[in-house]
C-alpha cells in the first residue's frame, strides 16, 4: 500500500531515526489533542508483534501501549502461553489517542501507519498478531470479519499473521474469552514451530 511509503526514511532506517522522525508527528488532527505519542514497547528483536488499534486514556497519559484495563487483560493472555510483554513487541495502528476512544478514521490511519511499518521492518517479527477488527482490516484485508476469521493464519508481507478479539471486546463480552484462549494456544503452537 502506497501510504506506507509516505513516512519512509531517506536511507537505511534505525530506531534513532524513526524516533526522531515520528516523535513530534503532527500529520493528523490526533497530534493536537494527545498528551503523549504512544510509540511502542517491548523487545526490538521479538519474534511476535502485537498490533492494537490506538491508545486509550491511560496509554495517552503514560505514553505506553496497553497499560489500561485492556492492557491488563493482554498481560493475562500473554501469561497463558508463557510470555510477558518484555518478550514481544506491542504497538498500535495509530500512535495518538482518538477522542473518546472512537475508531481511528481512515485518513488518521493512513497518516500514521507508515511509522508502524518502519517499526515492523526494524523488529522483523516472524509473527504478527492483530488485536481487533480495525488492525486486521488495515493489514490483512479491508473486509476482514473478526467474528469469522479470528484465529486463522494469513500471509502479510511474507509474515505469518493472525487476528484475535481486541482485549477491550473481551472485557465487554467475556463470553468471547474461550475463543481467544484457543487463538492464544494456536499462536503458541506457531511460536513453538519456529524453533522446531
Ligand atoms: N487499545 C488499543 O488498541 N491500544 C492500546 O494501546 C490500548 C487500548
Residue 82 sits in a domain of what CATH number? 3.40.470.10
Rounded to whole angstroms, the Cα distance separating 94 from 174 reads 26
Instruction: Domain of residue 96: give its range.
Output: 14-190
CB of 53 sitting under 6 A from ligand 1? yes
CB of 151 sitting under 6 A from ligand 1? no
Task: Report if residue 8 sits inside a domain.
Answer: no
pTM: 0.96
Question: What pLDDT, in 10s, does the model give residues 12-30?
Answer: 999 999 999 999 999 999 9
State how many domains the chain has.
Answer: 1
The per-residue pLDDT for 7 is 84
The per-residue pLDDT for 113 is 97
Task: Report if residue 3 sits inside a domain.
Answer: no
**Which residue pairs from 180-184 have beta carbons closer than 8 angstroms and sit at least 24 positions apart in sequence?**
180/77, 180/150, 181/80, 182/151, 183/150, 183/151, 184/77, 184/80, 184/81
Q: Which residue puts its alpha carbon closest to atom 7 of ligand 1?
A: 66
The per-residue pLDDT for 108 is 98
Continuous segment of H or E residues that includes residue 76: helix 69-80
CB of 104 sitting under 6 A from ligand 1? no
CB of 65 sitting under 6 A from ligand 1? yes
For ligand 1, the distance from its centroid to the CA atom of residue 196, given in whole angstroms, is 32
Rounded to whole angstroms, the Cα distance separating 86 from 60 reads 20
Task: Report if residue 2 sits inside a domain.
Answer: no
Task: Report if residue 1 sits inside a domain.
Answer: no
CB of 56 sitting under 6 A from ligand 1? yes
Task: Report if residue 161 sits inside a domain.
Answer: yes
Helices 106-123 and 15-22: crossing angle, nearest 10°? 160
Question: What pLDDT, in 10s, does the model give residues 100-117?
Answer: 999 999 999 999 999 999
- Dihedral sign computed on CA atoms, order 67, 68, 70, 74: positive
Amino acid at each position: 500500500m502506497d501510504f506506507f511509503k509516505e513516512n519512509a526514511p531517506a536511507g537505511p532506517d534505525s530506531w534513532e531515526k524513526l524516533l526522531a522522525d515520528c516523535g513530534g508527528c503532527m500529520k493528523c488532527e490526533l497530534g493536537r489533542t494527545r498528551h503523549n505519542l504512544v510509540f511502542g514497547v517491548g523487545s526490538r528483536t521479538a519474534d511476535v508483534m502485537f498490533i492494537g488499534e490506538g491508545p486509550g486514556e491511560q496509554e495517552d497519559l503514560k505514553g505506553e501501549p496497553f497499560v489500561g484495563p485492556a492492557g491488563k487483560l493482554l498481560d493475562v493472555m500473554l501469561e497463558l502461553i508463557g510470555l510477558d510483554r518484555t518478550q514481544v513487541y506491542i504497538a498500535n495502528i495509530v500512535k495518538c489517542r482518538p477522542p473518546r476512544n472512537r475508531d481511528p478514521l481512515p485518513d488518521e490511519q493512513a497518516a500514521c501507519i507508515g511509522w508502524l511499518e518502519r517499526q515492523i521492518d526494524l523488529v522483523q517479527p516472524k509473527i504478527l498478531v492483530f488485536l481487533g477488527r480495525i488492525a486486521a482490516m488495515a493489514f490483512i484485508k479491508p473486509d476482514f470479519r473478526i467474528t469469522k476469521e479470528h484465529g486463522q493464519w494469513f500471509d502479510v508481507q511474507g509474515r505469518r499473521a493472525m487476528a484475535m478479539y481486541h482485549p477491550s471486546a473481551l472485557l465487554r463480552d467475556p463470553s468471547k474469552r474461550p475463543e481467544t484462549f484457543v487463538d492464544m494456544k494456536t499462536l503458541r503452537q506457531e511460536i513453538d514451530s519456529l524453533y522446531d
